[in-house]
Structure 1
């Protein structure tokens, strides 16, 4: 007498496994989209802050006092203050809690570099992925006289 194997329940197991894989894929796509959108927002902030810093850092006194035939010099302290003022004015600290900034001025190239970084709170958690992550954006603006 040959005994037949009972395969009941095998389809259910496959369906549950497929559902778990699909749910994890949906979570990954949702988290990746949230990270991308936050990076886009930080890119916009970094661009605006860099332009504001370059504009404020190159004081108009040089242009009006020395003329435009010499290079403008950036004041690092004024550039940093302009970035912080800009971020407060546009509500960046409210929109991105934990926002941090780093402003550097390269005098040789007359360039302001602004980095903004904020923690991201992912809507879904995928097992094996980090629970806390930061998203950052860097932008630069150069001050110079076109000839």
Structure 2
């Protein structure tokens, strides 16, 4: 009898781990897609100086305030705040190679809980984009 109860417990814990790992993977993939889209929108709408200085030789310059506004607008328009309550976004403009990097983090909602696991685990994803000039 103890062997059967122990085996049942191990099987149940295995199922919980598989279900939670699958849910975490799917949520991270969704957050990864959002981060890529936000970085693309930030790089696109954050481009400055194109009309004043002309088109540069390789990449368009980025203005951090415009990138931040574009990223926030993208997350709002895409429904990220409703889908991932508590989502936080940080964006960074690399001045040397004009790349926009967006990092998103959000609380992870797991369908099942494992005893001893964190109450509020977080997932994070990063997306990077740059606007290049093709001639």
TM-score (norm 1): 0.85
* 1:119 partnered with 2:98: no
Change (3 A) 1:15 1:89: same
Change (3 A) 1:70 1:95: closer
* 1:96 partnered with 2:56: no
Q: Return 5+ residue gaps in structure 1 as ranges.
A: 1-11
Q: In 2, distance between residues paired with 1:71 and 1:123?
A: 44
Secondary structure of the 1:140 match is strand
* 1:62 partnered with 2:50: yes
1:98-118 per-residue CA deviation (whole Å, 9 max, x = no partner) reads 000000101111000000100
1:111 and 1:140 in contact (8 A); partners too: yes
> Cα RMSD (Å) of the superposition?
1.6
Q: Of residues 11, 18, 31 in structure 2, which corresponds to 1:22?
A: 11
> How many residue pairs were aligned?
135
Q: In 2, distance between residues paired with 1:70 and 1:17?
A: 63
Partner of 1:53: 42
Q: Of residues 18, 26, 34 in structure 2, which corresponds to 1:37?
A: 26
Secondary structure of the 1:93 match is helix
With CA pairs under 8 Å and 6+ residues apart, which has the higher RCO, 1 or 2?
2
The structure with the larger Rg is 1
Change (3 A) 1:38 1:71: closer
TM-score (norm 2): 0.92
Secondary structure of the 1:83 match is helix
Q: In 2, distance between residues paired with 1:44 and 1:117?
A: 13
Partner of 1:137: 125
